[in-house]
A and B are shown apart, each in its own frame.
Chain A
Amino acid sequence: MSTASLPGGRYRRKDIVVALCFLAPATAVFVMFGFYPLARTIWLSVAASDIFGNVTGFVGLDRYGDFFSDPALRRVLLVTLAFVVLTVLPTLLLGLFLALVLQARVPGIGFFRTLMATPFAFSAAAAAVVFDILYSPSVGLFNGLLDWAGLPVVEWLTDPATALPSLALVSVWRDLGYAMLVFSAGLQAIPESLFEAARTDGAGRWTLLWRIVLPLLSPTMFFLLVVSTISSLQTFGEINILTGGGPDGATTTLVYGLYQSAFAFGTSDYGLASVQAVVLLVLVMVITIIQFRLLQRKVFYG
């Protein structure tokens, strides 16, 4: 590469060559498996194809029209958003609660904190498989306990109304330890002197929480909100193992919908699959951009 065209010769030729060499490996991976497939996804979303996945022509935004106008297809969006709400809110609230409780000054608190974090050791697949057994409608322990207590059994995964919350419970359980760890780190970063100053001013426990802890935790909370929202949007393993998108489409999220459109029933609809992929992409991008914007304004940066 020639340096002649570079402005004012501010750059050293050697630096440029080294930079190119150093950036080349990562760039190659990003181009090959990030940008190029993304372009191909966008192309597939505006192309017509037969049920075997062969592109047969260009249809413009027709498939987007299908997706947003057909209530059955559009439902995927609602399910996705409902799933995000059902996973993110409980994870954050319970994670914060656990982190606060684990601030208690009692012997062995470190032991409690470590053990509380253990669900984090479960992968999506491992957690799903365990809950599949617990949820079993015929011989599952959850229904066994309910029955033993004289309560009516719950159709955990077999009723569209309960399937999504049941699925969310698995995610919440798995992410809880992680949220707790992050909140704990945030709490520990709050200087003790602030508490003491507040206490000498006669602040009660709730005042401390509302006036000092929560505002100072806001960046942590915001970070967790973004991270959990994005990971919730990407949930696949739990759905694949526990419900396969059912019952009656009640747990078909964007990611699961794109998988089904692409390969389920032995037929391929790459067009519809790609439309869902693009919608997912837009959602994640919007969330990330909001994050960057707000971070620039510094939510509350210590």
Chain B
Amino acid sequence: MRKASILAGLTLLLAVVIFPLYYTVAGSLMTQEDLTRFPPALFPTGLNWENFAGVLQAVPLARQYLNSIVVSLCVVAGILVTSVLAGYAFTFLHFPFRRFAFGLFLSTMMIPAEASIIPNYLTMADWGLVNTFPALILPFLASGFGTFMMRQFFMTFPREVYEAAKVEGCGHLRFLWSILVPLSRPALGTLAVYSFIGTYNHYFWPLLVTNTPSMQTLQIGLAQLNSVEERAPNLILAGVVMAIIPMLVMIYAFQRHIVRGLTTGAVK
């Protein structure tokens, strides 16, 4: 009895929380008429799959999908490489001003990207990179958080293994690549998932540095779709459904990684 009432309560709560998700999916199957009368429909009157074709006609979502994925994957790859290298240097190597340099790296976490967005735009403009992949990717190739995270992880690594490898004449790169990286898979996976989601959701920067639908990312494409098809909410919602599918897959598949990434620094 008690369990049943808890379940009922949870179901109700869930219904409220995921209602916008329901309406997105339902609306993506409705007709324009369903959504532009007052009050609008709650349930689709039929299954209008052609909405999805309609979206692709209004904005090149497929291409923008690809752009978002290319940009996100490049950024992930960049962050993994730069963070692993820097984290390694800060953990295993002795060099002057190490603490200071590490502090400087960490301080980048305090700089909100928006505070330097105008000069960054001007830089891209000077370099003639506006509306190109490099403009979307370059500024994000390193991460203070990523460096911090890799260093934290490397610190838990038994020092003796490092010393033993050194004695056997194993070079830094080889040690890094064949011993450290394979053992750091959980941390790398978490950092990868975390950076991917962050980059995939970028909005302000891509809005500034892209001019053509074929260079725009999915997020900008959605905003444009919302503006250009204002009178056809069914199309807009179909676009949203397409945009969130990869994220839904990711959060179901990598929930553990996501939680770990989100809580690094909170619950150790």
Q: Do A and B touch each other in the complex, judged by CB within 8 A?
A: yes
Q: List A residues at the B interface (Cβ < 8 Å).
A: 6-7, 10-12, 15-16, 18-20, 22-23, 25-30, 32-34, 36-38, 40-41, 44, 98, 101-102, 104, 106-109, 112, 114-134, 136, 138-141, 143-145, 147-148, 173, 176-178, 181-182, 184-186, 189, 219-220, 222-224, 230, 233-234, 236-237, 240-241, 255, 258-259, 262, 270, 273-274, 277-278, 280-281, 284-285, 288-289, 301-302
Partner of B35, one of A41, A107, A129, A139: A139
Whether B147 sits at the interface, judged by CB under 8 Å, is: yes
CB proximity of A114 to chain B, nearest CB, Å = 6
CB atoms of B244 and A259 under 8 A apart: no
CB atoms of A139 and B37 under 8 A apart: yes
CA distance A195 to B95 in the complex (A): 48
Q: 11 additional contacts, CB 8 Å, given A22-B93, A38-B115, A123-B219?
A: A12-B94, A30-B105, A33-B139, A38-B111, A44-B119, A116-B13, A116-B17, A122-B21, A125-B223, A132-B226, A284-B115
Whether B237 sits at the interface, judged by CB under 8 Å, is: yes
Chain B residues with CB under 8 Å of A184's CB are: 259
CB proximity of B137 to chain A, nearest CB, Å = 10
Chain A residues with CB under 8 Å of B109's CB are: 288
CB atoms of A26 and B142 under 8 A apart: yes
CB proximity of B210 to chain A, nearest CB, Å = 13
CB atoms of A22 and B13 under 8 A apart: no
Closest 4 CB pairs of A and B: A144-B39, A223-B266, A37-B116, A37-B119
CA distance A98 to B18 in the complex (A): 13
Contact (A123, B139) CB under 8 Å given A23-B86, A144-B40: no
Whether B185 sits at the interface, judged by CB under 8 Å, is: no
CB proximity of A190 to chain B, nearest CB, Å = 10
Partner of B18, one of A115, A125, A189, A259: A115
CA distance A139 to B34 in the complex (A): 10
CB atoms of A34 and B116 under 8 A apart: yes
CB atoms of A139 and B108 under 8 A apart: no
Partner of A123, one of B38, B115, B203, B251: B203
Whether B88 sits at the interface, judged by CB under 8 Å, is: yes
Chain B residues with CB under 8 Å of A280's CB are: 112, 114-115
Cβ < 8 Å to A, chain B residues 181-206? 200-201, 203-204
Whether B101 sits at the interface, judged by CB under 8 Å, is: yes
CB atoms of A26 and B251 under 8 A apart: no
CA distance A123 to B221 in the complex (A): 12
CB proximity of B238 to chain A, nearest CB, Å = 11
CB atoms of A38 and B116 under 8 A apart: yes
Stretch from B2-10, B44-52, B152-160 at the A interface: B2-10
Partner of A33, one of B94, B138, B239: B138
CB atoms of B226 and A25 under 8 A apart: no
CB atoms of A259 and B204 under 8 A apart: yes
Specify the chain A residue showing the minimal Cβ separation from B241: A126
CB atoms of A25 and B93 under 8 A apart: no
